[in-house]
Amino acid sequence: MEEKLISQKKPFFPISDTLMLFLKKYDRWMESSICYEDLLRFSGSVTVYDKNDHDTLWVRVYYSDSDRSEIDAHLKTIYTLLHSDGNTSSLPDLNIDAIDYCTFGNSKPFRIKIRNILNDNFIYFYVKKTDASRVYGLEFEHILSPYNLNYLVNHNTLIEEHIAGIPGDVFIKESLELCSPSEKAQIAKEYVKFNERCMIRLLGDMRAYNYVVIPIHDFDQVIFRIRAIDFDQQSYEGKFSVYRPQFFKENYPLMEVVKEKLNHESIIQYKIEERSIVSRRLINSGNRIQLLVNIMKNDQLTTPENLEKLKNEIFVFTKDESFSKSKSMGELMQAAFDYLRRNYQNVSLGGLL
């Protein structure tokens, strides 16, 4: 089913001057002498397998000695910019253990494993090609979701921190059936909220491998959170169903849990709760979200055909003419946020059952 939902490979959109000023204002902009294309100069690679000897669709890449020393130095500097103030005093204590390249998906990122040699603690971050729609997705996630996001960007390269968790497809395959009845009910609640959050802010393509499930030990129980990890399909596709994770077949096992554990009244309650929370985040974000949406109104982030289809499909659900009158994805986001503020207890905008 999902092959029909995603129309085609999404192009990369450049950073506009006004978006660049926004990113500089909020300390997201970086000046770096290394770019995504530099990492493509690898001279060889080997396949990376998981613990069950299955191909992960990542390859570990290697560079010539001269390239590797230069690349390592720049990646260490980027790490200090991402996680501290760019202080270079810690550089001698850092080691780049691995550089992996993903051969699957649209963004084809590099995954960097960096280790502190003093204590063997390590962390990952990602190097990707800059895409304005992904930047908007990261900012919306940072402002409107329960989670903060750390990233840096310039006109060529996007640096994203690693989001820890169990990939959704792995969790569904290996862990879901092992959960207790109460844990499944809690997962169902979280999935309803996740589905609603993605729909509200038009984050698309949340197939199971594009989000993670995070188990959290709380006293004598384990609770679960679901968190998006891929923001490539922010406000691009024309089909409204792309922005509702429930319609991807990989997520059907979670939908079955929702239907088993939650009645219609509970689903409505959790949808209203999530809309209320997002509404409060919109208010508490101050001018930041409005400034971002105003910039987005003038950016091209999709095709005219996708915009026309999406705004009309949302209008069918809401009967709100501000959607049908939108002339850009930014105006469509403005209409969605305005609608949410006015009608957060009205659950007519989509639904799980």
Say yes or no: 211 and 329 in one domain.
Answer: yes
Tell me the C-alpha to C-alpha distance, in Å, between residue 327 and each of 118, 135, 296, 317, 336: 54, 21, 11, 19, 13
Which of 69, 101, 129 corresponds to the end of one domain? 129
Which of 129, 154, 176 corresponds to the end of one domain? 129
Say yes or no: 293 and 177 in one domain.
Answer: yes
Determine, yes or no, domain membership for 10: no
Determine, yes or no, domain membership for 313: yes
Task: Report the number of distinct structural domains present in the chain.
Answer: 2
pLDDT value, residue 327: 96
Per-residue pLDDT of the chain (353 residues), as tens digits, is 444 666 568 899 999 999 999 999 999 999 877 889 999 999 999 999 988 898 988 999 999 998 999 999 999 999 999 988 777 788 889 999 999 999 877 789 999 999 999 999 999 999 999 999 999 999 999 999 999 999 999 999 999 999 999 999 999 999 999 999 999 999 999 999 999 999 999 999 999 999 999 999 888 888 999 999 999 999 999 999 999 999 999 999 999 999 999 999 999 999 999 999 999 999 999 899 999 999 999 999 999 999 999 999 999 988 999 999 999 999 999 999 999 988 766 655 554 44
Say yes or no: 172 and 122 in one domain.
Answer: no
Say yes or no: 235 and 190 in one domain.
Answer: yes
Determine, yes or no, domain membership for 351: no
Say yes or no: 115 and 184 in one domain.
Answer: no
Say yes or no: 308 and 175 in one domain.
Answer: yes
Say yes or no: 177 and 286 in one domain.
Answer: yes
Say yes or no: 226 and 322 in one domain.
Answer: yes
Say yes or no: 313 and 243 in one domain.
Answer: yes
Which of 129, 158, 174 corresponds to the end of one domain? 129
Full domain range(s) for residue 232? 166-343
Beta-carbon contacts of residue 272 (< 8 Å; ≥ 6 apart): 344, 345, 347
Determine, yes or no, domain membership for 20: no
| pTM for the model | 0.92
Q: Are 292 and 139 in contact (CB under 8 A)?
A: yes
Determine, yes or no, domain membership for 134: no
Determine, yes or no, domain membership for 352: no
Q: How far apart are CA 90 and CA 116, in angstroms?
A: 9
How many CB atoms sit inside 10 A of residue 19's CB? 23
Say yes or no: 113 and 196 in one domain.
Answer: no
Say yes or no: 44 and 173 in one domain.
Answer: no
Determine, yes or no, domain membership for 316: yes
Determine, yes or no, domain membership for 25: no
pLDDT value, residue 124: 96
pLDDT value, residue 352: 44
Say yes or no: 337 and 280 in one domain.
Answer: yes
